[in-house]
Amino acid sequence: MEIGSVLNEEKGAVVQLLNESGLPTTDVNEPGVKLFCIINQGEVIVSGGYQLLGNYALIRSLAVKERFKGKYLGELMLKYLLDECSERSVKKVFLLTTTAEAYFVKHGFSTVDCDEVPEIIKQTSEFSSLCPATAIVLTKEIGTYL
């Protein structure tokens, strides 16, 4: 299984996985959003992505099909996304979650108050309107790996 960029013919399956995971999908085609997936026997089983915003990135759309959870595929995708961001000179990544705070903290992220989030991140659709007010904001400096 390899990680690859989401092709047009895979977008529907990625959107379905995100819907099954309760994640937003209406903004997956926004400028700067890069989506990746892992395919197993023709089925999208993991998705993940980021949105580049200057020296920052918003990690998004990280989802694993239910029957593949616990096999470290989420960690594999997360490391891939962080490596991608590092290669693009991103200094710090942010993400929003309502259910996976402990997972991301375990992987070196820390919670941050909304007031500390750069304005360019706050202006994204995901941050400003798609995620609920109960979402927790997490951040991680690039270069501090899993």
Which residue type is seen at 103? Y
Q: CA 67, 33, 134 angle in degrees (round to 5)?
A: 65
What pTM did the predictor assign? 0.91
Quick: pLDDT tens for 70-84: 999 999 999 999 999
Cα-only R_g, the chain = 14
CATH of domain 3-141: 3.40.630.30
User: For residue 104, is pLDDT > 90?
Assistant: yes
Which residues is 136 bridged to in the sheet?
97
Sequence spans of domains, the chain:
3-141
pLDDT digits (tens, 9 = 90+) for 20-43: 998 888 888 888 899 999 999 999
pLDDT tens for residues 53-71?
Answer: 989 999 999 999 999 999 9
Q: Are 57 and 51 in contact (CB under 8 A)?
A: yes
3-state secondary structure 25-85: CCCCCCCCEEEEEEEECCEEEEEEEEEEECCEEEEEEEEECHHHCCCCHHHHHHHHHHHHH
How far the first Cα of the chain sits from its last, in Å, is: 20
Tens digit of each residue's pLDDT (9 = 90 or more) over 114-142: 888 999 998 888 777 655 577 899 999 98
Look up residue 114 and give its DSSP letter. Answer: G
